[in-house]
Copies of this chain bind each other. A is one copy, B any other.
């Protein structure tokens, strides 16, 4: 491999290409996506071979089986990802949306129009299919992209980006729209490029996301924690509650929208907990309970204060018995990460209180927390889940990759006309 090119030069080139892409009509951007999908298909052998080399090296390095599963990109997974690129073609154009159209005065008209962010910096872990997903979302939204993948996937990522470059060039677009960084040093450099990069999207562990947030002046779209709760109310229907507990905890325990803590109303604890414990035991979930829980469940160990603030990410569930919905909300306010919080109840008033008062990106009644996901919300594709409070919040689709600008056209209008004793009033009339 040759020496890493100067990162500023690289970012400048991406920025320039992105400025041109931003002006391309949606037909051209979709054509580019189709071309990329075709190029990925025609480079499939090369991509799969590169991934096999990554996988062989990973086995030698004795990486975990979970990491290996994410790294592996066989023909089936590749075909699925290529289909995903074509799915992005079908999404509505996020650019050029007229959000406000207003006459301020006769002949002075303002439009607020959505437009691309500019250049995105995306740092991800071992999962090479992220390259295809993120590249297609970036091109669709008219943005340039600087990617940094995990070192385990370096050969796969290089083969994928080579194919993406071929796809871009086949329709006359600049290959520098999508750049790949391969070294850890470049990650640090990337975080300093606040003149050239408009948004950083880190995809990885909580501590990694926090590291990124603390080490860049570029806005960061990412979630730091996913401590989600499920509250089973006294008016819960157990027939719904038990499958929801199981799904929320075990359907994919490593996901940020899986629950870590089960809150149970005291008046149903003695009947509900033994039933749910059987189902949880079948799924090999380790239970940690407060004192009251341990009295009911002999197989639960005592939870400590640490348990309420821990995102296990595995088959462990902490359980606490509480007195009412207010106490449940209080617990969630204190320990939750404002990601996704759910209640199981048939009582409409209690549910309404929970949905109104709990401060989280997602507040659910009678369904699994695992629905907190861009695909499931119908956003078509997801750039990530945000636990920041300012929008974009929760699962973020293409809208997280665009911003807007105010365009105003006048006919010699000056502000002085609208100031002082003789001030002309504004009409402020919405058009269309």
A residues in contact (CB < 8 Å) with B: 19, 23, 102, 104, 108, 110, 115, 117-118, 198-199, 213-214, 217, 219, 237, 239-240, 243-244, 246-248, 251, 351, 355-357, 359-368, 370-372, 376-378, 388-391, 393-395, 403-416, 418-419, 426, 428
Q: Which residue of B lies closest to A15 (CB)?
A: B333
Q: With A118-B389, A366-B410, A412-B243 known to touch, is A361 a contact of B405 (CB < 8 Å)?
A: yes
On whether the beta carbons of B404 and A393 are closer than 8 Å, the reply is yes
Q: Which residue of B lies closest to A364 (CB)?
A: B408
* 14 CB-based A-B contacts, threshold 8 Å: A104-B377, A199-B389, A240-B412, A247-B415, A248-B414, A362-B405, A364-B409, A366-B411, A367-B410, A367-B412, A367-B413, A368-B413, A372-B406, A377-B406
Q: With A366-B412, A406-B363, A408-B367 known to touch, is A418 a contact of B219 (CB < 8 Å)?
A: no
Sort A-B residue pairs by CB-CB distance and give the 5 closest, nearest first: A367-B410, A240-B412, A370-B415, A247-B414, A378-B428
Q: Which residue of B lies closest to A240 (CB)?
A: B412
On whether the beta carbons of B104 and A371 are closer than 8 Å, the reply is yes
Interchain CB contact (< 8 A) of A243 among B104, B115, B246, B414: B414
Chain B residues with Cβ under 8 A from A366's Cβ? 409-413
On whether the beta carbons of B370 and A110 are closer than 8 Å, the reply is no
Chain B residues with Cβ under 8 A from A419's Cβ? 251
Give the dominant DSSP class at A's interface: mixed
Q: With A117-B390, A391-B403 known to touch, is A371 a contact of B413 (CB < 8 Å)?
A: yes
On whether the beta carbons of B411 and A378 are closer than 8 Å, the reply is no
Chain B residues with Cβ under 8 A from A365's Cβ? 408-410
On whether the beta carbons of B414 and A251 are closer than 8 Å, the reply is yes
Chain B residues with Cβ under 8 A from A428's Cβ? 378
Chain B residues with Cβ under 8 A from A415's Cβ? 247, 251, 368, 370-371, 376
Chain B residues with Cβ under 8 A from A404's Cβ? 391, 393
Give the complex CA separation of A23 and B357 in angstroms.
8
Chain B residues with Cβ under 8 A from A362's Cβ? 405-408
Beyond known contacts A365-B409, A371-B408, A389-B403: 18 more, CB 8 A cutoff:
A19-B357, A108-B367, A110-B377, A117-B389, A198-B390, A214-B217, A219-B388, A240-B412, A243-B412, A246-B414, A247-B414, A364-B407, A365-B410, A366-B412, A366-B413, A368-B410, A371-B415, A376-B418
Give the complex CA separation of A365 and B388 in angstroms.
36
Q: Which residue of B lies closest to A210 (CB)?
A: B217
Considering residues A247, A372, A412, which has the most beta carbons from chain B within 10 angstroms of its beta carbon? A412
On whether the beta carbons of B410 and A376 are closer than 8 Å, the reply is no
Q: With A243-B414, A428-B378 known to touch, is A394 a contact of B405 (CB < 8 Å)?
A: yes
Q: Which residue of B lies closest to A23 (CB)?
A: B356
Q: With A357-B23, A362-B406 known to touch, is A378 a contact of B412 (CB < 8 Å)?
A: no
Q: Which residue of B lies closest to A410 (CB)?
A: B367
Q: Which residue of B lies closest to A390 (CB)?
A: B219
Interchain CB contact (< 8 A) of A391 among B239, B360, B391: B391
Q: How many Å from the CB of A14 to the closest CB on chain B?
A: 14
On whether the beta carbons of A405 and B363 are closer than 8 Å, the reply is yes
Q: How many Å from the CB of A140 to the closest CB on chain B?
A: 18
Considering residues A19, A362, A366, A415, which has the most beta carbons from chain B within 10 angstroms of its beta carbon? A415
Q: Which residue of B lies closest to A199 (CB)?
A: B390
Give the complex CA separation of A403 and B403 in angstroms.
16
Q: With A251-B419, A394-B406, A418-B376 known to touch, is A359 a contact of B412 (CB < 8 Å)?
A: no
Q: With A361-B406, A393-B404, A393-B405 known to touch, is A412 a contact of B104 (CB < 8 Å)?
A: no
Chain B residues with Cβ under 8 A from A214's Cβ? 217
Q: Which residue of B lies closest to A221 (CB)?
A: B390
